[in-house]
Amino acid sequence: MTRRIVILTEIISPYRIPVFNALAQLEGLVVHVIFLAETDAARWQWRVYKDEIHFSYQVLPSWRWEIGKTNVLWNRGLWPALNRANPEVIICGGYNYFASWEALLWARRHHAKFVLWSESNRHDARGGWACVEWLKACFLERCDGFVVPGQASLEYLQSLGVARDSIVVAPNAVANCWFQAQANNIRTREAEFRERLRLPRRFVLFVGRLVREKGVFDLLEAYAKLDAEVRSKVGLVFAGDGIARAELERRAEGISPGTTCFCGFAHREDLAGLYACTEALVLPTHSDPWGLVVNEAMACGLPIIVSSVAGCARDLVEDGRNGYVVPPRDPERLRAAINSLVRNPEVGRQMSARSSERIKDNSPEACATGLAAAAARGQVQ
């Protein structure tokens, strides 16, 4: 007996492709993925790796508008697409698209199970508006099940009144084996890679959008607070782009001694190289549903310094074991964590080994198994 599943998600994200490939390979499932758009160039510069897709999918026609800080996405063709797929289960990535509500209505009309795939947590800066919270509550009441990436999202749904037995954990994942192999390959020609990107011999790394809410100014301040002796030996590298870049570069010019590099946006091939060459990944975000760069860095065997509000922090980083968990907006605690790592190479090596071991639980196969379990659990209300 087979179960027909439709995944409804926003764009063809490179980190979701291995998960959907693994899901499509599970016995007893017929999987079709509906993307609301191919990409969103205004927010992400990812390549679209269509040649790696080994599952049934389609991309709906779409239109986008920016209203203030809100990204509005409108689609056509979803209802006919669902009619053709005729799913028994819809797994919907989020509630904040018009298409999400349309899919929910289709599920109710056709007696299909509707599962919300939610990454939100209580630290998510996107929440708080009364009308949004009311719509969220209305949406949650009509879902038959829920799937989350980890503990922060699970506890957030429970705080909204969702029963624990209706929530399944599908651990967030990236292509661990690919990142590990690529990083190992770069390490065999590290000098060449460093020269191409003009990297310091030693450095700590930030990967992400260069915007204030990612904690990039806290990180720069923490680096500036390191002893001059440490800064003369260890640099700081920002891989990414965003509206804060010019101001970051201006402030970085005043740090002496020290080396601060801005690599710009890096595709996954160069990301793996950056992870291979650095001593630690630092994600000092003020708000983040998860933080998949942490998965990538751990797959490459890195210690992690992460703020406590990142969704991944409780699931992936054990303070003092494979990295450090620090409060957000606290440059002094951030400085202390960086200082501890770069001054103690043996501690860093031990943390690297623990990261490599820990991330094995967050594989695409484990995520796919969780999604399948969410689709199978319970009955339509």
Please tell me the predicted confidence (pLDDT) of residue 128. 59
Q: Percent of the chain having pLDDT more than 90? A: 89
> Do 274 and 263 meet the contact criterion of CB atoms below 8 Å apart?
yes
Query: In angstroms, rounded to a whole number, what is the distance separating the alpha carbons of residues 312 and 148?
Result: 11
pTM: 0.95
Please tell me the predicted confidence (pLDDT) of residue 69. 64
Residue range(s) occupied by CATH 3.40.50.2000 in the chain: 3-173+363-376, 176-360
Please tell me the predicted confidence (pLDDT) of residue 123. 85
Please tell me the predicted confidence (pLDDT) of residue 315. 98
| Superfamily (CATH H level) for 3-173+363-376 | Glycogen Phosphorylase B; (3.40.50.2000)
Please tell me the predicted confidence (pLDDT) of residue 381. 43
**pLDDT less than 50: residues of the chain:** 379-381
- Give one word for 373, left, alpha or beta, with left for phi > 0 and alpha for psi -120 to 50: alpha
| Superfamily (CATH H level) for 176-360 | Glycogen Phosphorylase B; (3.40.50.2000)
Please tell me the predicted confidence (pLDDT) of residue 46. 82
Query: In angstroms, rounded to a whole number, what is the distance separating the alpha carbons of residues 121 and 35?
Result: 24
Please tell me the predicted confidence (pLDDT) of residue 126. 58
